[in-house]
Structure 1
Amino acid sequence: MDELDILKKDWNTTKPDHKKLTVNDIYPMLHKKSSSIVKTLFYISIAELVFWIIINTIPLFCSDEYNAKLEAIFSNDVIPMIISIFSYAMIVLFIFLLYKSYKSISITDSAKKLMENIIKTRKIIKYYVLYNLIMAGGSIMAGFYFAVHNDPKISSDLAAFGNKKMLLVTAVLLLFTCLFMLVIWLFYKLIYGLLLKRLNKNYNEIKKLEI
């Protein structure tokens, strides 16, 4: 049991005429915890940006044959480059919005304003996770499209397929896409979900203090 829980327990057992001081003690702790959670979310988002930069540089250290195959599939299309730029721009925007939330929570001294900032932070995380799920599914579909149109071997193999085999390939692709999106969702649920749960708990506690 942390210091905040001890104070809350004491608050519940304190006489009404002595509760005001205890509330004044509890609120700064909730404020500090909320600020710390958003700060952690901000650091995680930076770590995610570094992670994707590393992932995208891995092909540079792979075999020449692998790099040649990737270049043959994507080099003649500007769409993959645009998607990459857009993805990095979204991550940077997400980091900026989280930083703004952290600064807003850090300097506010109003319980109402703090609750508004917590709600705003939850929305930022929600939309970012949704964006990543859409991008995950879209990336697989786009990768398959470029592979089919730019890789002669894959094109010739698929051209020889009948309707039943093509239907099977489509079903497998959709299943793989759904599984991949599920893994991404579980990843964000684990990383961001736990922190958002704590942030929601703080929000509810502040709401009680406001009543």
Structure 2
Amino acid sequence: MPEFDLDSFKKTWQEQPVQPKYDDNEILKMLNKKSRNYMKYIFWISVAEFLFFSLMGIFYLVNSNEFDSLLNILEKMGVQRNDTIQNSLDTIYLVIKILSLLVTGFFVIKFYQNYRKIKIEEDLKLFIIRIITFKKTVNAFILTNIGLLLIVIGALTAFAFYIFNSQQIHLSRSSLMSFIIAISVSTILCVTLIWIYYRLVYGIIMNRLDKNLNQLKEIESQEN
């Protein structure tokens, strides 16, 4: 019986050529399909957000106590509530709702258009460009929502100071500082919460899309 040489067996086994499990075309198809699915997830999330804001808008339209919290704060600072203030706030909040729905609706359409343009059999370079465009649209959506929040807070703050001036309310230094600090803290908190939300909801999907994009770029560079 011949002697079994373990070291020789290991060497022979290690020298065997390793056949790739998938070729580049199969990998490309899988990456394309995954990328398309990730874009679809973002699209449906944006649709859910649009429906949520729409339902919230309907709720507030039938809720007459919508502005009580803000008016209560202003009253504590000496503002006299009247129909003019109430009507002005009604208008401001209506504009905010419409603007929010328009922004969300616009990006829902953009996400859908980007998603529809992605084709699995498409040229690799063009496919990569479409993914990059989609990423830019997502980033624009996040930054636009943060910007919209800052505009809303700025508009309400300006309106509050307008009321103080029109009713000739002179705030003490400590009251003014407290008001400014409260607005600043609220702004930072709201922006942080929005950023965390989008990083959690969109960030996970976008990170996976980034990995696919890097792999697609590697395949594209090898082809060149």
Query: What band does the TM-score fall into relative to the shorter chain?
Result: 0.7 to 0.9
Q: Is the 8 A contact 2:50 2:104 kept in 1?
A: yes
Partner of 1:100: 113
In structure 1, what is the equivalent of residue 6 of structure 2? none
Q: CA RMSD in A?
A: 3.0
Distance 1:82 1:59, change over 3 A: closer
Please say if residues 57 and 97 of structure 2, whose CA atoms lie closer than 8 Å, have aligned partners that are also in contact: no
Q: Distance in 2 between matches of 1:74 and 1:121?
A: 42
Select which of 180, 199, 202 maps to 2:209: 199
**Deviation for aligned residue 1:161:** 2.5
Aligned-pair CA distance for 1:96: 1.2
Superposed displacement of residue 75, structure 1: 2.4
Correspondences of 1:112-131 after superposition (within 5 Å): 112-131=125-144
Q: Which runs of 5+ in 1 are unaligned?
A: 1-13
Q: What is the alpha-carbon distance in structure 1 between the residues aligned to residue 100 and residue 208 of structure 2?
A: 28
Contact 1:49 1:91 in 2 (8 A): yes
Q: Which runs of 5+ in 2 are unaligned?
A: 1-15, 72-82
What do residues 10-54 of structure 1 show as CA deviations (whole Å, max 9, x unaligned)?
Answer: xxxx959x6696111110010100111111111111100011111
Superposition map of 1:12-31 within 5 A? 22-31=23-32
**3-state SS of 2:23 partner:** helix
Matched residue of 1:161: which SS? coil
Name the CA shift for 1:108/1:163 in 2 (closer, same or farther; >3 Å): farther
For residues 42-91 of structure 1, the C-alpha deviation after alignment (integer angstroms, 9 at most, x for no partner) is 111110001111122222454x4x15858864524755444433322221
Instruction: Tell me, in whole angstroms, the C-alpha distance in 2 between the residues paired with 1:21 and 1:53.
Output: 46
Whole-Å separation in 1 of the counterparts to 2:117 and 2:21: 26
After TM superposition, the score normalised by the length of structure 1 is 0.78
Larger RCO of the pair (alpha carbons < 8 Å, separation 6+): 2
Q: 1:118 to 1:189 in 2, by over 3 A?
A: same
Structure 2 CA distance for partners of 1:33 and 1:74, relative to 1, 3 Å:
farther
Between the aligned partners of 1:108 and 1:163, the Cα distance in structure 2 is: 66
Q: Greater helix percent: which structure?
A: 1
| Contact 2:43-2:112 within 8 A present in 1 as well | yes
Counterpart residue type for residue 110 of structure 2: L
Question: Shift of the alpha carbon at 1:115?
Answer: 0.5
Instruction: Give distance in 2, aligned partners of 1:121 and 1:191.
Output: 16
Matching of residue 136 in structure 1 with residue 152 in structure 2: no
The equivalent position to 1:84 in structure 2, one of 97, 104, 110, is 97
1:174 Cα offset (Å): 0.9
Identity %: 28
CA contact (8 A) 2:33 2:120 kept: no
